[in-house]
Amino acid sequence: MSVKGQSRRQGVIRLLLMGLPWSLRPAQAQRMNSGQLLSFEAMVQPLVKGAPLRAQDVRLHAPILAENGSLVPVQVQVNSPMTAQEHVTHVHLLSQRNPVTQMAVFELGPWNGRAEISTRVRLAGTQELVALARLSNGEFRYARMEIIVTESACVDAS
Amino acid sequence: MNTPRTDAGRRHFLKVSSSATAGLSLGFFVPERASAADVPQLNVWVEIEPNDTIVIRYARAEMGQGSMTSAPMIIAEELDADWKKVRVEYATAHDNLRTKRAYGDMAAVGSRTIRNSQAYLRQAGATARHMLVAAAAQQWGVPASECNASLSKVTHTASKRSLSYGQLATAAAKLQAPKEVALKDPKDWTLIGKPIARVDIPDIVVGKTKYGIDTQLPGMLHAAVAACPVFNGKVKTMDASKVENRRGIVKVLNLGEFVAVVADNWWRAKEALREVAIDWDVGEHGTLSSATIMAHFKAGMEQTELAVARNDGNAPEALGKAAKVVEADYFTPYLAHATMEPMVCTAWLQGDKLEVWSSSQNPEATLAVGAATAGVPQPNVKVYPVQLGGGLGRKSPQDFTRQAVMIAKAMAGKPVKMLWTREEEIQHGLYRPASLMRFKAGLDASGKLDALHIRVSAPSILATLLKLPLPKGVDGQAVASFNDHPYDIPHTLVDYAQRNTNVPVGFWRSVGHSQNPYGRECFIDELAQAAGKDPLAFRLEMLPNTEKSKRDRSILEAVTKAAGWGSKLPAGVFRGVAETEGYGSWTACVCEVSVNAKNEVKIHRVVIGIDPGYAVNPDNIVAQFQGSVVHGLTAIFWGENTLKEGRVEQSNFHDYRMMRLNEMPKVEVVIAPTGGFWGGVGEPAQAPLAPALVNAISAALGKRIRSLPLKNHGLSLARVQGPTA
């Protein structure tokens, strides 16, 4: 989906990496949680690459508790004038535990008017989410939150 | 007294201590007391009153599985508490949310309560004990190492001084909690491993227990609901004019997916619901039947693209070279849970505050679903613990909580208790999936099993209910006990055709282990017969005493020894055996049966055993196993949900029969813990029962029974006690 839509508050969705390639995992007793919990640095640095990074101007809304990880609503708002000179170029949604760390990238520009996105993500268990915004001056802003995914499953694995 | 408290009366004001900021890890919380009179709390799990009463919190649901006793026992063990002075209280999901999950996972599912929480529960008990000892040592001015704790007392032997936990608690609560404390060596346990009476039973016996169905609130309304008889259908039109003006009827709601009648009492709501004219949009699934589902599964058997769950050696090639090939198809049906208490949830939405009393196996999921459905922030939701009248896996998904909150939202301001009828429960289950299993085995000239190919054609719970991506397309539950079979077979291929239908599937106590071991262990018996070997000897030959299979072997030996395998049986009596691993425990079963001319099966003996590593409360293990045999025999003899015109045909106990008291055989439980691990107990007993029983019946009949339930083979269960007809 690469529509340069001007519609409402939605950013342009360029990539939605939610078809998780779990096939790399060995067939074994399935756990609801999977993967290693990454450090914050390991989550963000592949994108930030040492550029200035601050925990401000980004608001991340999601439920603290999710019944299961299949559909978790997430909303991100970035405080930005969204002018040609000063705007948000990308919002990245990063997962601490999913097999694919970068769950989604939203490409934004001054045409959006507001830097707000909302979507639903799939989470492989309780973990931290990071909303990382890249600004037009090359700096980054972020917000992070923990989401608890309850495990309503009588699966064999512990 | 060990009476559990179910009310949420006391309020604790907690603040996160600096040691508890480590995100997802379990923190311990230092109480910020509202008043000096408040009871000292050593951590979120342990609170000690001045009269030496120790309050231990229990964070999961209790539905008869007994963890409400076993989990606190683990804390009490490390705390060196006098169990007689322990009172168990529920922790709540809203406190867990507020304290950044101080109580951890709250779901009572997957036979997981003990095995997943023992580490932090032991640490909590040990930490509290350490603080009490330190407080005593400080008071006496002696080294803590000279003090001992036992039975809720700290003693300084040298000076013959002692103080009770109640006397020490206030001082102890002011101390910094140690980060980590050494845990006891299992040989020093005094409580774990002892048969302890369940704390919830006295209240159950005198009728004091509040189950979800017992919730009563001032001005409460009652709701009866009907969802489309064809799964996933919707309400097309609804005409409630016939009942709207009836006495007691408050409102008839068309909520799209279902219709609810809200009344001043439940019977009026339920009776009125029968007369609401509902035209359902059944969608495209109105023709689904058991026959079309079977055809769908059979087509799965011929599918060329299959998910491979296990592939050792080269089974197809080895089968081609085998001296003897044995093949068989096994089938297990859909099963509703039929919990004694049907789905029930009371919800009360006042402004943006929601309160919920739900018979839920996962109170945190109840909170999440409640908030999302009501459209209120999660911190505004309170979920009060209630005892469950059975759960069996049906009450972990929150479809019913969602319904109740939808109704409460429509009736905002008033508390509403939604209760399903038995018919609704049986016809709107999250069914144990039906499964078609194909076995093909190759034996060499000496009768040794060389190759095994198992193909499963069945729906996926994980893909459809939880919408989880499946690793390599395999649902681990659909192939459970096949993908991890312990037998030393050079060539094993397990493949899986995911065949979903419109019938919603879910977790039915022991899940894949409720059906796959039946196929596996019956087929192994067929192979033993083909090889001309004793079924036990045939298995033991394939279970070398290695790390991988030593526990399969030891539980099989323990149970067959207790059952006197190989000893002479009376004429007409036959034995069957089976062994399995599941939920972190190893189980085995031997049944002795005879079948009379009327095809009545008389069960002479059921010897069933478990190696759970550590047996925390042996009395509860016995109870779980006895209960599992009741539940299991019900399913084995009668349990089946069939489909016609998209609808489940069964509706109540007249056609979805439960076992009766006078049909229940004696159950001999063998507990053979080998130590070193913590296995589950609530579910595993289902696994070896069906194959052991059916192997015995097949031996008695001289023909194999390859599908369940047994009623479809003309078999019934003989009465074993009470009046004879």
B614 & B493 share domain? yes
- Is A95 in CB contact (< 8 Å) with chain B? no
Show me where the domains of chain A are located.
Answer: 51-149
B243 & B194 share domain? no
Contact residues on chain B for A27, CB-CB shorter than 8 A? 308-310, 471-472, 474, 476, 483
Q: Do A156 and B362 make contact, defined as CB atoms within 8 angstroms?
A: no
- Side-by-side strand order, sheet with B249-254: B249-254, B258-263, B221-227, B415-419, B344-350, B353-358, B381-383
User: In whole numbers, what is the pLDDT of chain B averaged over residues?
Assistant: 93
- Residue pairs spanning A and B at CB distance below 8 A: 135
User: In whole numbers, what is the pLDDT of chain A averaged over residues?
Assistant: 80
Q: What is the pLDDT of residue B13?
A: 30
pLDDT in tens, A113-127: 999 999 999 988 889
Q: Bridge-partner residues for B354, per DSSP? A: B349, B381
Percentage of chain B surpassing pLDDT 90?
91
User: Measured between CB atoms, which of B396, B477, B480 is closest to A152?
Assistant: B396
Last residue of a domain, one of B397, B419, B441: B419
Which of B63, B356, B362, B466 is best to mutate for the A interface (most A CBs within 10 A)? B466
B222 & B183 share domain? no
Q: Do A30 and B475 make contact, defined as CB atoms within 8 angstroms?
A: yes
Q: Do A153 and B109 make contact, defined as CB atoms within 8 angstroms?
A: yes
Q: What is the pLDDT of residue B659?
A: 95
**Which of A78-87, A92-101, B100-109 is predicted most confidently?**
A78-87
- Is A68 in CB contact (< 8 Å) with chain B? yes
Which DSSP string do the residues of B422-483 spell out, in sequence order? HHHHHHT--BBPPEEEEEEEEE-TTS-EEEEEEEEEE--HHHHTS-PPPGGG--TTTTTTTT
B705 & B631 share domain? yes
B442 & B582 share domain? yes
Percentage of chain A surpassing pLDDT 70?
73
Contact residues on chain B for A153, CB-CB shorter than 8 A? 109-110, 396, 462, 466, 507
Q: What is the pLDDT of residue A154?
A: 64
Q: Do A154 and B507 make contact, defined as CB atoms within 8 angstroms?
A: yes
- For residue A18, what is the nearest residue in chain B, using CA coordinates? B469
Mean pLDDT of B539-554: 93
Give the closest-approach CA distance of A92 to chain B in angstroms.
22
- Is A37 in CB contact (< 8 Å) with chain B? yes
Q: What is the pLDDT of residue B548?
A: 83
B252 & B310 share domain? no
- For residue B105, what is the nearest residue in chain A, using CA coordinates? A150
Does residue B705 fall inside a structural domain?
yes
Does residue B2 fall inside a structural domain?
no
User: Tokens 């025999």 map to which residue?
Assistant: B633
The domain tally of chain B equals 3
Residue B7 pLDDT exceeds 50: no
B701 & B557 share domain? yes
Instruction: Give, as one character, the DSSP assignment of residue B334.
Output: B
Give the closest-approach CA distance of A2 to chain B in angstroms.
25
Q: What is the pLDDT of residue A35?
A: 59
Contact residues on chain A for B105, CB-CB shorter than 8 A? 150-151
Q: Do A29 and B378 make contact, defined as CB atoms within 8 angstroms?
A: no
Percentage of chain B surpassing pLDDT 70?
94
pLDDT in tens, B25-71: 223 333 333 333 468 889 999 999 999 999 999 999 999 999 999 99
Sign of CA pseudo-dihedral B184, B187, B188, B191: positive
B626 & B695 share domain? yes
Question: And the tokens for A90?
Answer: 């990308």
Q: What is the pLDDT of residue A29?
A: 38
Last residue of a domain, one of B187, B205, B223: B205
Can you give the residue range of the structural domain that contains B265? Answer: 212-283+343-419
Whole-prediction pTM: 0.90
pLDDT in tens, B224-252: 999 999 999 999 999 999 999 999 999 99
SS3 call for B634: helix
B23 & B126 share domain? yes
Q: Does domain A51-149 have CATH number 2.60.40.2470?
A: yes
User: Measured between CB atoms, which of A27, A148, A154 is closest to B309?
Assistant: A27
Does residue B424 fall inside a structural domain?
no
Total Cβ atoms within 10 A of residue B10: 11
- Is A45 in CB contact (< 8 Å) with chain B? no
pLDDT in tens, B404-435: 999 999 999 999 999 999 999 999 999 999 99
* Residues of chain A by 3-state class (helix, strand, coil), percent to 5: 10, 40, 55
Say how many CA atoms lie within 13 Å of B202 toward its Cβ.
Answer: 9
Question: And the tokens for B337?
Answer: 């849970």
Does residue B76 fall inside a structural domain?
yes
Does residue B256 fall inside a structural domain?
yes
Last residue of a domain, one of B367, B392, B419: B419
B470 & B362 share domain? no
Q: Terminus-to-terminus CA distance in chain A, angstroms?
A: 38
Going by C-alpha positions, the residue among B617, B497, B488 that lies closest to residue B201 is: B617
User: Measured between CB atoms, which of B368, B466, B512 is closest to A65?
Assistant: B368
Q: Do B398 and A67 make contact, defined as CB atoms within 8 angstroms?
A: yes
Amino acid code (one letter) for B484: D
Does residue B723 fall inside a structural domain?
no
Q: Do B369 and A127 make contact, defined as CB atoms within 8 angstroms?
A: no
Sign of CA pseudo-dihedral A27, A31, A32, A36: negative
- Is A18 in CB contact (< 8 Å) with chain B? no
B36 & B139 share domain? yes
Q: What is the pLDDT of residue B18?
A: 29
For position B529, which CATH number holds? 3.30.365.10
Q: What is the pLDDT of residue B3?
A: 42
Q: What's the ipTM?
A: 0.75
B305 & B272 share domain? no
B509-536: string of b/e by CB count within 10 Å (b at 16+)? bbbbbbbbbbbbbbbbbbbbbbbeeebb
